[in-house]
Structure formats: C-alpha cells, structure tokens
Structure 1
C-alpha cells in the first residue's frame, strides 16, 4: 500500500472525526441546556425528543412554551394535538398555552371545539379561553353600560306620552361557531337597548309596562337580537324601571305655544294689511278730492268760453233769471 494514500486516508478520517466531534459537542451543549425539559417531557409521556427540542431553538420557537403546552394537553387526555401544530401556531404569533387551556376547558365541559377553530379564534385576536369560559359560565352585561356610554337608563315613551326609564341586565353565553366574524358586546347592548325602547313605545300606556315589565323582555327576546353575533342571549331581565317626564303633555304645551305664536303672527299680518289698506283708501280719497277741485276750477273757465262764443247771453226774465239758451 502506498504510504501517501495511507496518510491521506488518515487525514480524512481525522477531519471527519473532528467535524463529528464538533457537531456532537454542540449537540451536547444544546441538549444539556434543554435536558430538564426533555426529562419532563419523557416522564409525562409528552413524546418530545431531544432532537425536536434542539430543532425548535434553531427555528426560533420557545421549547419551554411548547413542552408546557404539550404536557398539559397529554395530561388532560388531548394526545391528538401534535407538536408540529403547536410550533406552527407559535410561529404564527398565537398564544399556544392559552389555546391549549381553552381546548382542555372545552373538553372537560363536553363542548365541541376543534384545534383549527380555536387557533383561528386566537389568531383573530379574541380571547379563546375567555370565550370557552363564558360558554360554560354565562356572563351578565349591563344595558346600558355607564362605563361605555355614560348613560344610566334607557328612555322610552309610551303612547300616552309618559316617559319610562329602564335598566336591563342581559345574560349571554359565547356562541363559538359565530365567534369568528360575529358582532361583539357593543352590538348586543345596542340591539337590546333599541328593542326595549321600541317595546315601551308600542305600549298603549305606561301602566302596562309598570304592571308587567317582563312583557318588554319577552318582546325583545322574540326579535332574535343575537343573530350574527358572537353571543347567545340566555335571558333579559328588567332590573329597574321608573316613570320620567310627561313628554306628551310637554309636547302639547310646546305645540300650543307654537300655535299661539303662529296665530299672533297671522293677526299681526292681518292688522298690517288693514292699516296698509286704510292708508291706501285715504290716499285714494285725497286723490279724488284733488280731481273734484280741478273739475270745479274748470267750470268758470268753461262758462267764460261759452260767453265768448255766444252760446250764453244775459236776458233776465220776469223772475230775474238769465236765459242760457241761444
């Protein structure tokens, strides 16, 4: 055998062993960093190997988050959730631990919730864990909410003109199927408020509402106000209802005052027209008097012209009258 070939082979083997040693040393350093995580995953049967932990760090995925989430899922009986799904959700900017907690809560409450649906809800910016908790334990919304709208009551006017001030409490639970793209609490509050005001306005008199406030709640529930929203209305309770102003009487007073002002304006218009007509008649009288004076001034002139023309002569008769005929 050629000694040069032997030396080349030895160099190649040495380089290969050195490279392998460097990689093995790097792996040991990384593995020693995540040894406790791997041990926890191994003990809890999370089935996450050391190579997976190292590759997570290379992909800029926090192994601590994924291991904790995987352990929670396995211990809760959700072993079908893979590590790859958790890594993909983490890289997409989602909250992996909150998502797994929501799936565990839905599983324990016997609520049908898939990983894809929960992941979409979380990536949409909704708190999926709070949504599941609200679906299990309904929450109460004040209508109106003074902290949001600065109003304490919903003001409606019955047909008899009496104003009623009402406050309602709406019990809702999350509709997970409509959580993506569904309207939020603001829409629920607005719809319930509009329904209560409309129900009060449809009553013949305010005594009907005071005698049976739940009549308003039933009318509002019958309208299906929770359609296309992220919540399902469980119940609407009228917490308080008070009598306000007599809006009908006030409007009638305002109308009467307006009618008086209109009548006064029309009377003033007629008075001004009469005064103007009076002034016109006076001016017409003066004009006619001027015509009479002018006519009277023409009489002597006409008589003088008649004398000069010989149409008139002075021939007094027995009675001392003059003959004016020719």
Structure 2
C-alpha cells in the first residue's frame, strides 16, 4: 500500500513539475539562440504570463536581428498590449529603414492603434475614399464631389494624432469652401483639379496621424438647383404671409361690420321709446305717426316690387 502511495506522489510531482517548468519551451529557445533561464520561465507562470507568447516573440525578434529583452515584452504584455503586433511592426520598420523604437511601438499599440498597419501605411501610402460631398456654387447649383485622399502614416504623430475621420472631415470642408467660392458650377466642372490644388494647399494634415500626399477628384456631378428652390420656398413663404394678412384684414372688416350692425339694432330699439316720449311732450301727433307708418309701408312695398322685377329680368 505504501509503495502505491509513493508512486502516486511521484506521478503528481512530475505532472506539477512539467506543468510549471516548460522544459520543451526552454529547449526551443536555446536552439533558437534566445538566452533565457529556466527560472525566468517558471517565474512567468507565477506572474500569470504566457511563457510561450513571450518566448515566441523573443525568437521572432532574435531571428530578425532585433534585441528585445524579455522584461520589455513582459511589461507590455501585462499592460494589455499585443506583443506579437509590436514585434511585427519593429521587424517591418527595420526592413524599411524606419526609425522606430520599442517604446514608441508599445505606446502606439497601447493607444489603440494598429502599429503594424501604421508601419505598412508609412511604407506603402493608403487611399481614403471620401463619401459624396455636396457643395453649392455662387450661382445656386449644387455640385457633388467624391475625392480620393492618398495618405502616409506619420509615426511621430500616431500617439495623440487625429485619425482618418478627421482627414475626411477636413477634406470635405475644404471642398465645400472651394466650390462655394466658385462663380458657377460650370467653373468647377471645367477645372476639377483646382479643387485638389486649393484643398491640398490648406495643410489639412496638421495635427493628424497622417501626411496627405495627394487629393484626387474621382467624380463630379451636378445636383439640385438650390438657388431656385430657395427662391421658390421664399415666394411660397411670402404668399402665405400675404394670405395671412389678407385674412386678418377680412376678419377685421367682418368684426367692424358686425359692430356697426349692433349699433344700428341698438338705435332701432330706441325708436319706440323716442316716439312715446314725443307723444307725451306733444311733439308728435297721431296723424304724423300714421303718415310716417304709411311712408314706411310704401317704401317696403316699392322695395318688394323692385326685387320681383329684378328676379324676372334675371330669369
């Protein structure tokens, strides 16, 4: 029984030993020319590092002729960086004769930028296509422009420099300003290169992570007649204002007419009182009253007859 217990302890010890001590990885590093001790590999386990990632990055950099210490790689790994991307960027920069230190590459990586892609763009310029940019010339005609911006990454400004969105926004602003200062859309269509030259001369890459090499106009189209639409909208607005003012005057006239009618009705309501008072004071006799009523009846009869005759004539 004791023999089996000892054998079990030996097996457990060997499993733990080979788990904590990456002998195979140490042998691979030695044969690749990377000088790293077994104690360092074991210490990586206790620091919750991945020895294979560190050693593979060291082997890759050693074979490329770069001298990168395991301490730098461990520090960048613990900071949340991508050590493989940093090593690849340093190798690419070395091949392209670009001055890039490990500290710079690590800072660019930790800033959230793809440092390897940045080195590639620094060697091989990148083309950024702008969306359709609409601008209006002085004659009111809209011009739609699509531009291709060729940029090269600026390694020195990758940390803290603005990205592609800023480049596109500045180029769009430059195109709008240039087209807006043109006398007519025909001038823009005849000389689209003027847009490129004017926009490129504004130094739009200032404070960005890129250097603008060229701005090429890929397409120019004529859009809406914005000036005519604005005039039409203004005329419609003026018409609505005039109609509103006319309606206001009509409402005032109706209100005044109703007010006058009310005054007439009020005055007519006082006539019987005035007649009664005239009778009392002797200013109006009974015959005078009858004559006045006869005149009123005769007037109504004449109005009725003239209305009937008018209807017959219309018929």
TM-score, normalised with respect to structure 1: 0.71
In the TM superposition, residue 282 of structure 1 has moved relative to its aligned partner by: 4.1
- In structure 1, the partner of 2:219 is 240
Q: Deviations over 1:274-305 (max 9, x none)?
A: 33333434444555566677556544533479
Deviation at 1:196, TM superposition (A): 2.1
Name the residue aligned to 1:218: 197
Please say if 1:77 is aligned against 2:65: yes
Which of 62, 87, 106 is equivalent to 1:100? 87
Q: Is the 8 A contact 1:41 1:67 kept in 2?
A: no
Conserved in 2, the CA contact under 8 Å of 1:89 and 1:95?
Answer: yes
Go from structure 1 to structure 2 and tell me whether the alpha carbon gap of 1:53 and 1:270 turns closer, same or farther (over 3 Å shift).
closer
Could you say which residue in structure 1 is the equivalent of 2:179?
Answer: 200
TM-score (normalizing by structure 2): 0.73
Q: Is 1:38–1:50's contact at 8 Å kept on the other side of the alignment?
A: no
Distance (whole Å) between structure 1 residues aligned to residue 120 and residue 245 of structure 2: 69
CA-CA distance at 1:131 after TM superposition: 0.9
Matches of 2:283 and 2:256, distance apart in 1: 42
Matches within 5 A, 1:153-302: 153-285=132-264, 287=266, 298-302=277-281
Give how far 1:218 is off. Answer: 3.0
Partner of residue 111, structure 2: 124
Which runs of 5 or more structure 1 residues have no equivalent in the other structure? 1-21, 145-152, 306-326
Give the corresponding residue for 2:31. Answer: 40
Q: Is the 8 A contact 2:29 2:59 kept in 1?
A: no
Give SS of 2:161's match.
Answer: coil
Q: Secondary structure at the match of 1:34?
A: helix
Shift of 1:128: 0.8
The C-alpha deviation readout for 1:60-112, integer Å capped at 9, x for no partner, is 44343333323333333323x22221222223332222211211211222222
Distance 1:58 1:272 in 2: 91
Following TM superposition, by how much is the alpha carbon of 1:32 offset from its aligned partner in structure 2, in angstroms? 4.2
Shift of 1:261: 2.0
CA distance in 2, matches of 1:290, 1:93: 99
- Post-superposition CA distance 1:207-248 (Å, at most 9, x none): 221122222233333333323322222222111110111111
1:115 is aligned to 2:92: no
Q: Distance in 2 between matches of 1:32 and 1:271?
A: 102
Equivalent position of 1:317 in the other structure: none
- What is the Cα deviation at residue 162 of structure 1? 0.9
Question: For 1:221 and 1:197, how far apart are their aligned partners in 2?
Answer: 13
Q: Give the 3-state SS of the residue equivalent to 1:110 in structure 2.
A: coil
How large is the Cα RMSD of the aligned pairs?
3.0
Stretch deviating more after TM superposition (228-237 or 59-68): 59-68
Alignment CA distance shift 1:32-1:290 (3 Å): closer
| Total equivalences in the alignment | 268
CA distance in 2, matches of 1:72, 1:175: 26
Contact 1:38 1:53 in 2 (8 A): no
CA change 1:137–1:281 in 2 (3 A) is same
Greater gyration radius:
1
Distance 1:31 1:160, change over 3 A: closer
- DSSP-derived class of the 1:203 partner: coil
Tell me what 2:125 maps to.
Answer: 138
Change (3 A) 1:303 1:237: same
The 1-side partners of 2:179 and 2:119 are apart by: 35
